[in-house]
């Protein structure tokens, strides 16, 4: 049974598949309610797929706002309503004394949190504004962070805990690029986006350092489609926004959005 499930997933996902399957099984058979830590979109997809295979469980994903990338899952027996079940998330607001500008980015805040011994899966989306940041965290660690987060990179910060209704979302900014590509192959499009040779993009793909829609992709010839999000370790992320026809020379026009 399990072997047939594994066939649908990348080998590196086996550990998470086992954990997720156990959550679903315990909820169905032992009538347990499980609230997970934050899941990335691929983990959420895996858990949802497993939950949908079992008619005895229900699942809800909560990240603090509708478009949240990282979300906690609540899994329960199917007879239990999850609409009013607490999500267990809090908003940690961090700002400089006097609300002066913080020349910091997402990675600075994430690094500061991890430096306090916090595991990545306890942290949801991070929204960085000019003079403050709103960080979604599990409520189990919110008080600890409110006491101990006092420096991010070279800036001193003050913190407060806010209700989720006061979250101020920072939408991802995309730098749009128009390209004409020979095919929809992953390696060809990625080499054009990052402006490196195709040979230099193939090695990291084969080494497992590329994800398509948060799933490891090791096949350089994998075709991309509209809406796909591609990430390379050390190079960043881009989204295939649009496929816009074919040129007279037979090349495909695409519009790319690079996350900045």
**Per-residue pLDDT tens over the stretch 115-154:** 999 999 999 999 999 889 999 999 999 999 999 999 998 8
Q: Judging by DSSP bridges, how do beta strands 132-138 and 71-77 pair with one another? A: unpaired
Determine, yes or no, domain membership for 83. no
The pLDDT of residue 104 is 87
Q: Which of 77, 104, 120 is the last residue of a domain?
A: 77
Task: Return the SS3 of 82.
Answer: coil
Count CA within 13 A, CB hemisphere, residue 186: 26
The number of domains in the chain is: 3
The pLDDT of residue 12 is 85
The answer to whether residues 103 and 45 belong to one domain is no
**What's the rounded Cα separation, in Å, for the pair 65 and 124?**
11
Tell me, what CATH number does 251's domain have? 3.10.290.10
The answer to whether residues 70 and 147 belong to one domain is no
The pLDDT of residue 172 is 80
Whether pLDDT at 2 is above 60: no
**What's the rounded Cα separation, in Å, for the pair 145 and 26?**
31
The answer to whether residues 247 and 178 belong to one domain is yes
The pLDDT of residue 260 is 78
The pLDDT of residue 4 is 67
**What's the rounded Cα separation, in Å, for the pair 248 and 230?**
28
Contacts of 24 (CB under 8 A, 6+ apart): 47, 50, 51, 53, 54, 57, 75
Determine, yes or no, domain membership for 84. no
Residue-number span of the structural domain to which 159 is assigned? 89-166
The answer to whether residues 36 and 62 belong to one domain is yes
Tell me, what CATH number does 162's domain have? 3.30.70.330
The answer to whether residues 194 and 213 belong to one domain is yes
**What's the rounded Cα separation, in Å, for the pair 16 and 122?**
16
Determine, yes or no, domain membership for 82. no
**What's the rounded Cα separation, in Å, for the pair 253 and 17?**
38
The answer to whether residues 192 and 251 belong to one domain is yes
How distant, in Å, are the alpha carbons of 38, 101, 176, 180, 184 from that of 252? 38, 43, 16, 5, 8
* Per-residue model confidence as pLDDT tens digits over 54-102: 999 999 999 999 999 999 999 999 999 999 899 999 999 999 887 677 8
Q: Which of 2-16, 117-131, 134-148, 225-239 has the lowest mean pLDDT?
A: 2-16
pTM beyond 0.85: no
Cβ atoms < 10 Å from Cβ of 100: 11
**What's the rounded Cα separation, in Å, for the pair 260 and 257?**
9
Phi, psi of 38 (to 5 degrees): -70, 135
The answer to whether residues 179 and 251 belong to one domain is yes
The answer to whether residues 72 and 94 belong to one domain is no
């Amino acid at each position: 049974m399990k072997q047939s499930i594994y066939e649908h997933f990348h080998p590196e996902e086996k550990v998470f598949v086992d954990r997720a399957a156990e959550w679903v099984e315990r909820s169905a058979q032992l009538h347990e309610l499980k609230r997970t830590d934050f899941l990335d979109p691929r983990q959420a997809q895996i858990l949802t797929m497993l939950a949908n295979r079992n008619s005895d469980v229900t699942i809800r994903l909560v990240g603090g706002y509708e478009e949240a990338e990282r979300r906690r899952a609540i899994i329960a027996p199917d007879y239990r309503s999850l609409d009013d079940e607490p999500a267990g998330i809090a908003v940690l607001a961090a700002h400089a004394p006097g609300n002066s500008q913080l020349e910091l980015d997402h990675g600075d805040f994430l690094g500061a949190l991890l430096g306090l011994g916090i595991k990545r899966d306890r942290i949801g989306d991070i929204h960085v504004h000019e003079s403050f940041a709103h960080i979604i965290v599990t409520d189990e660690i919110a008080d600890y962070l409110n006491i101990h987060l006092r420096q991010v990179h070279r800036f001193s910060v003050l913190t407060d805990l806010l209700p989720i209704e006061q979250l101020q979302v920072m939408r991802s900014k995309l730098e749009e690029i128009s390209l004409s590509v020979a095919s929809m192959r992953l390696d060809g499009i990625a080499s054009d986006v990052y402006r490196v040779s195709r040979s230099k993009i193939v090695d990291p793909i084969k080494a497992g350092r590329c994800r398509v829609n948060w799933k490891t992709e090791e096949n350089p010839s994998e075709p991309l489609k509209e809406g796909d999000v591609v990430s390379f370790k050390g190079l960043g992320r881009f989204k295939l926004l649009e496929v816009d026809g074919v040129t007279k020379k037979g090349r495909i026009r695409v519009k790319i959005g690079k996350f900045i």
